[in-house]
């Protein structure tokens, strides 16, 4: 086995040991084919008020601008599908990814351990770790490395595991064996497109972020538009509709990450409880949660909009 292949085998083995459900590797290179798509998406203002999406255009497309001398992009997937779907509780809903502790902290801890293990194995390397925290086209890199394909809802999909997983990356200046993309298996299915109540999926693989329920309930800091009244289907933080209806997600299995266990209170709060939510309860239930992004005032705004 060559040194390159030995390093690759170690990385894939370590990924599994750390609990990642998939690991794929792509050559670090300029995403020339993605550039016009991103440019067009931004030109149509599909990012809405998410101005940060228009920043660092070159860095988004070229990993060597994030890690000089980068040779490989390691893409990783980490399952978050819950044991119980709380959206079926006939109450206001929170996206599954936000049930437990904020994934940024959970996965970043694993990535730090992962990077240290790679350095110990191969010697001094230059690299950086990412999980939805920098201008990295994570879904595109994951698709290039063979982790799955981009579904019509623009999320990464796999035949074996669906789409309820986080993506993370390690970009480093180490030559490795590279994986190949896999075929798209959406076929003629339009379940996600048809189910979106705000018609945010404008065509296969393209989401108008400024019409997405997740955008309205998390990213938008202004008042919610009256034109969307009655269309949120009780989602008060994020939205899982396009994933819930996807046939491939019937293969999703529950995660085994203790830090993703939801706060006990989340399982029993009624709509009336949410409407009477106090800052004290919000702080206790969402102490380490991604829901803190919307702040107490933002969540109260969302709940009021759903009444």
Cα–Cα nearest to 240, from 166, 168, 164, 291? 164
Whether the pLDDT of residue 296 is over 90: the answer is: yes
Cα–Cα nearest to 290, from 49, 165, 104, 129? 104
Helix (H, G, I), strand (E, B) or coil at 259: helix
pTM of the predicted structure, to 2 decimals: 0.95
Q: Band of the pLDDT at 77, cuts 50, 70, 90?
A: very high
Could you write out the DSSP letters of every residue in 143-199?
HHTTS-EE-TTSSEEBTTTBT-EEEEEEEES-------------TT--HHHHH-TT-
In this structure, what DSSP letter does residue 261 have?
P
Which tens digit of pLDDT belongs to each residue from 11-61?
A: 999 999 999 999 999 999 999 999 899 889 989 888 888 888 888 888 999
**Contact between residue 100 and residue 83 where contact means Cβ atoms under 8 Å apart:** no
- In the prediction, which pLDDT does 42 show? 87
Whether the pLDDT of residue 1 is over 80: the answer is: no
Q: Band of the pLDDT at 7, cuts 50, 70, 90?
A: very high
Which range marks the domain in which residue 122 is found? 1-307
CA dist., res. 236 & res. 254, Å (int):
23
Q: Give Cα 252 to chain centroid, integer Å.
A: 15
Whether the pLDDT of residue 146 is over 80: the answer is: yes
> 3-17 and 103-122 are packed helices; what angle lies between their axes, rounded to 10 degrees?
150
In this structure, what DSSP letter does residue 131 have?
S
Which of 33, 58, 62, 132 does the annotation list as catalytic? 132
Residue that is written with structure tokens 């709509």 in the block = 271
Q: For the chain, what's the residue count?
A: 307
> Is 234 tagged catalytic?
no
Whether the pLDDT of residue 267 is over 90: the answer is: no
Cα–Cα nearest to 105, from 124, 125, 129? 129
Instruction: Tell me how many domains the chain contains.
Output: 1
Which tens digit of pLDDT belongs to each residue from 169-196?
A: 999 999 999 999 999 999 999 999 999 9
Whether the pLDDT of residue 92 is over 90: the answer is: yes
């Amino acid at each position: 086995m060559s040194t390159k292949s030995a390093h690759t085998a170690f990385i894939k083995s370590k990924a599994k040991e750390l609990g990642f459900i998939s690991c794929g590797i792509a050559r670090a290179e300029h995403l020339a084919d993605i550039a016009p798509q991103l440019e067009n998406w931004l030109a149509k203002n599909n990012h809405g008020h998410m101005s940060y999406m228009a920043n660092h255009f070159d860095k988004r497309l070229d990993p060597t601008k994030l890690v000089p001398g980068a040779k490989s992009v390691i893409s990783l997937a980490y399952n978050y599908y819950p044991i119980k779907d709380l959206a079926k509780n006939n109450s206001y809903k929170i996206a599954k990814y936000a049930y437990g502790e904020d994934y940024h902290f959970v996965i970043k801890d694993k990535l730090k351990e992962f990077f240290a293990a790679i350095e110990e194995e191969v010697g001094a390397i230059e690299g950086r770790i990412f999980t939805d925290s920098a201008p990295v086209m994570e879904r595109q890199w994951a698709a290039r490395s063979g982790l799955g394909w981009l579904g019509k809802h623009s999320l990464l999909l796999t035949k074996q595991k669906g789409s309820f997983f986080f993506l993370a990356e390690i970009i480093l200046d180490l030559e490795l064996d590279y994986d190949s993309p896999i075929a798209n298996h959406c076929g003629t299915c339009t379940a996600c497109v048809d189910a979106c109540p705000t018609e945010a999926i404008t065509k296969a693989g393209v989401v108008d972020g400024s019409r997405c329920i997740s955008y309205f309930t998390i990213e938008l800091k202004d008042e919610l538009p009256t034109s969307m009244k009655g269309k949120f289907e009780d989602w008060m933080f994020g939205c899982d509709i396009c994933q819930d209806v996807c046939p491939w997600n019937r293969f999703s299995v529950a995660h085994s990450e203790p830090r993703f266990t939801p706060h006990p209170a989340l399982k029993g709060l009624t709509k009336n409880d949410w409407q009477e939510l106090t800052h004290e309860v919000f702080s206790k239930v969402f102490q380490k949660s991604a829901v803190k992004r919307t702040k107490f005032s933002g969540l109260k705004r969302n709940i009021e909009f759903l009444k």
